[in-house]
């Protein structure tokens, strides 16, 4: 009952504003992208938790989700349920779910997902797992090319969940600096959970290519317990965008607000989402 009361409180707070995360659009041509590692997104998530997830995502245009359960069909089913919840809120949404990643073991394998508002963008071609990197990366990225509505411009989103910090995630990330050449584009967004922050030296080559990080010095993971009123731990989730992506706004989407909500928030995920508003 306590768990449901907290979720009800979250949803009530979100309903106070149509734009609860203050990513206020400056232009009808702007696109709002959100990336979220939703811990163990699968059959363990109940209807109230799925409703909360959909409420959190509803204000955005493109969604990149990591850590969708691959070992059980419940992962894909929950993405479909999120899309169904979103479609009940006034906009038409579409989605794609990746196959399980070609990881060294079933315990490491996951799925990724993209969801998007069809009034804002359309999917060009097929979203795909990057098979060229599957032998070098524990969970190879899921890549989609989107076309902005009413414009000829397209952009790529690379959806990624790296290996853990003590397993040298930089050895995976460094491979992404070839994406501008491989995808033949300078409109690339690399989003996800990187297990290292934007100050790590692995990003220097990306910055030299013209990439920027959406948020800086912004913690995104949740502690198990509050300490002196602080419930945030590591700055490892982010969005990196290339130079032809024009920055408008960004933030970590912190829906927790107080330590009293931490235990219930961790039932949703141990990560907070990161959002970027941009134009092409």
Residue 28, pLDDT score: 62
pLDDT band at 2 (very low <50, low <70, confident <90, very high): very low
35-39, 94-98, 202-206, 257-261: range with lowest mean pLDDT? 257-261
Token pair in block for residue 108: 């490491």
SS3 assignment for 29-74:
CCEEEEEEEEEEECCCCCHHHHHHHHHHHCCCCEEEEEEEECCCCH
Q: From CA 192, how far away is CA 35, in angstroms rounded?
A: 6
Secondary structure class of 273 (helix, strand, coil) = coil
Residue 152, pLDDT score: 87
* String of DSSP letters for 116-141: EETTTEEEEEEEEE-GGGTTT-SS--
The mean predicted confidence, pLDDT, of the chain is 92
Q: Does position 37 have pLDDT exceeding 50, yes or no?
A: yes
Q: From CA 18, how far away is CA 89, in angstroms rounded?
A: 11
* CA nearest to 11, candidates 40, 43, 48, 37: 48
Q: What is the pLDDT of residues 228-243, one digit of tens each?
A: 999 999 999 999 999 9
Residue 75, pLDDT score: 96
pLDDT band at 150 (very low <50, low <70, confident <90, very high): confident
Q: What percent of the chain has pLDDT over 90?
A: 87
Q: What percent of the chain has pLDDT over 70?
A: 90
């Amino acid at each position: 009952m306590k768990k449901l009361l907290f979720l009800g409180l979250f949803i009530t707070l979100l309903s106070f504003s149509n734009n609860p995360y203050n990513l206020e659009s400056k232009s009808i041509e702007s696109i709002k992208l959100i990336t979220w590692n939703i811990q163990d997104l699968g059959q363990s998530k109940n209807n109230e938790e799925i409703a909360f997830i959909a409420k959190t995502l509803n204000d955005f245009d493109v969604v990149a989700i990591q850590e969708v359960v691959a070992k059980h069909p419940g992962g894909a089913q929950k993405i479909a349920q999120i899309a169904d919840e979103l479609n009940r809120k006034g906009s038409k949404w579409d989605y794609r779910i990746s196959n399980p990643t070609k990881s060294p073991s079933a315990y490491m394998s996951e799925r990724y997902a993209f969801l998007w508002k069809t009034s804002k963008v359309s999917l060009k071609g097929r979203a795909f797992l990057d098979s060229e990197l599957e032998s070098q990366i524990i969970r190879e990225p899921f890549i989609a090319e989107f076309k902005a509505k009413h414009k000829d411009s397209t952009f790529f989103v690379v959806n990624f969940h790296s290996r853990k910090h003590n397993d040298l995630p930089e050895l995976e990330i460094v491979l992404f600096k070839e994406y501008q050449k491989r995808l033949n584009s300078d409109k690339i967004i690399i989003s996800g959970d990187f297990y290292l922050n934007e100050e790590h030296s692995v990003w220097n080559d990306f910055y030299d290519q013209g990439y920027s990080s959406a948020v800086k010095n912004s913690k995104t993971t949740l502690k198990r317990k509050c300490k002196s009123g602080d419930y945030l731990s590591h700055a490892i989730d982010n969005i990196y965008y290339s130079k032809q992506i024009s920055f408008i706004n960004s933030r970590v989407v912190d829906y927790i607000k107080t330590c009293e909500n931490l235990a219930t928030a961790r039932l949703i995920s141990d990560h907070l989402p990161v959002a970027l508003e941009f134009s092409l």
